[in-house]
Amino acid sequence: MNKCVLITGAEKNSGYGIARKFLKEGWSVVLTSRDEGKVQEVAASLEKEFNISCYGFGYKPLEAVTDTDVLFEKIEKAGIELDALVCVAADLGRWMDPLTVDGQDWANVLHTNVVGYFMPARAAVRQMIRTGKAKGATIVFTGSINYINALPERSAYVASKGAISSMTKALALDFAKYGVRVNCIAPGAILTDRYDGIDEEEFERRRSAIPLNEFSTKETMGENVYFLASESSFPMTGSVMIVDGGSTSIVPGAF
């Protein structure tokens, strides 16, 4: 029987690249998106391409306290038993001047990015214990190098990524007794559709700021996340793996 992974925020970009890597390795995948219709289309297309079971369900991280139960009811009804969870879905929390941002908008970023990871992690481990799949199971959270280096007008996002890094360590301790490993990938700049509207000069400026002179891609994200989710990373747990082309190694003003 194929192993199965649940990937939140897998309709496009990094989540989609991660899903493709797991499918290439023979895993069944469960994809989520805020847009259930769209993610079901993506799942159907991937299932046809790889000839491996692929499911698409709606999930709203902002409503994680209640929507996680709805998601896992669908998972249970479909007879799906999870071996791994990868949380990718995130609110980027851009352009939030701390003096003028609406307080609820700021809090929503934390809720989406932190509670939106905790709730499915708890639900997944509960299911893994019940199905006897906890020992050897893995959880991978998507963090960011911005838990180390901040960005202007992104305080909610930066705070959330710091929380994810800390939560990785805390849940690794809590879930270790069940045999579940929890790790976090902290990427730098990733080449996604967010770069589509950037002019060539700005694109090159951003790329040249990376010591390796290359962005991460959805494909490299897939490779690195799969490593953390697979047995190859054993016995890593509670680790935050930085994947940034050397960006956090730079001494300011020296590169």
Report pLDDT digits (tens) over 21-75: 999 999 999 999 999 999 999 999 999 999 999 999 999 999 999 999 999 999 9
Residue 225 belongs to domain with CATH number: 3.40.50.720
pLDDT at site 247: 93
Mean local confidence (pLDDT), 220-225: 98
* Token representation of residue 139: 């959880």
- Among 140, 147, 87, 138, CA closest to 117: 87
* Token representation of residue 64: 């994680």
CB–CB of 187/219 below 8 Å? no
Q: Is residue 234 part of a domain?
A: yes
Q: Is residue 252 part of a domain?
A: no
Count: domains in the chain: 1
Return the percentage of the chain with pLDDT > 90, whole number: 91
Residue 255: is its pLDDT beyond 70? no
Q: Is residue 44 part of a domain?
A: yes
Q: Is residue 255 part of a domain?
A: no
**Mean pLDDT for all residues in the chain:** 96
Q: Where are the alpha helices (DSSP H) in the chain?
A: 13-24, 36-50, 64-77, 103-110, 116-131, 155-176, 200-208, 218-229
Write the single-letter amino acid at 131.
Answer: T
Q: What are residue 184's phi and psi, to 5 degrees?
A: -135, 135
Residue 71 is part of which domain span?
4-246
Q: Is residue 253 part of a domain?
A: no
Output the pTM of the full model.
Answer: 0.95
How many angstroms separate the CA atoms of 132 and 135, rounded?
A: 8
Query: What is the gyration radius of the CA atoms in the chain, in angstroms?
Result: 18
Write the single-letter amino acid at 84.
Answer: A
183 three-class SS: strand
pLDDT at site 253: 64
How many angstroms separate the CA atoms of 216 and 188, rounded?
A: 7
Q: Is residue 254 part of a domain?
A: no
Q: CA 35 from chain center: how many Å?
A: 17
- Among 69, 75, 79, CA closest to 57: 75
Which of the four pLDDT bands, split at 50, 70 and 90, describes residue 212? very high
Other CB atoms closer than 10 Å to residue 193's CB: what's the count? 9
Bin 169: left if φ > 0, else alpha if -120 < ψ < 50, else beta.
Answer: alpha
pLDDT digits (tens, 9 = 90+) for 86-120: 999 999 999 999 999 999 999 999 999 999 999 99
CB–CB of 170/199 below 8 Å? no
pLDDT at site 90: 95
Residue 128: is its pLDDT beyond 90? yes
Q: Is 29 exposed, middle or buried (0-12, 13-18, 19+ CB in 10 A)?
A: buried
Mean local confidence (pLDDT), 183-209: 90
Q: Is residue 88 part of a domain?
A: yes
- Among 23, 31, 21, CA closest to 3: 23
Is the four-CA dihedral 244, 245, 251, 255 of positive or negative sign? negative
Q: Is residue 99 part of a domain?
A: yes
CB–CB of 245/220 below 8 Å? no
pLDDT at site 254: 57
